[in-house]
Amino acid sequence: MSDNSSGSGFAFIAGLAVGAVVGGIAGLLFAPEAGDETRKKLQEKSKEVSEDLYDKFDEFKDTVTDALDNVKEKVEDVKEKVTKEA
């Protein structure tokens, strides 16, 4: 059950990142500007998208880490319970 939500979150983040990159590049390529300006904007936009992607990945990593910690706690509780009953 948590596998589905983790996969969906990652798919959403990946889709968001790809959409942002494609949209940014398309907007810059079709803008009527000189080549130097376009390259400069592409470089800036790619840096922005890269930073956003790193931030989103860190959030996703924190979410997965929290979920794993919760699972570990539950396993330890069950293990303790079984040990007491045995």
For 60-86, write each residue's pLDDT tens digit.
888 899 999 999 999 998 988 888 887
Give the pLDDT of residue 2. Answer: 45
- 3-state class (DSSP) for residue 1: coil
Lookup result for tokens 């570990």: 72
Domain boundaries, the chain: 2-85
Share of the chain above pLDDT 90, in %: 14
pLDDT-derived band of residue 1, with 50, 70 and 90 as boundaries?
A: very low
Cα dihedral sign, 51-53-59-61: negative
Does pTM top 0.85 for this prediction? no
Q: What is the DSSP letter of 33?
A: -
Are 84 and 30 in contact, with CB atoms under 8 Å apart?
no
CA distances (Å), origin 7, targets 2, 15, 36, 40, 51: 9, 12, 40, 35, 22
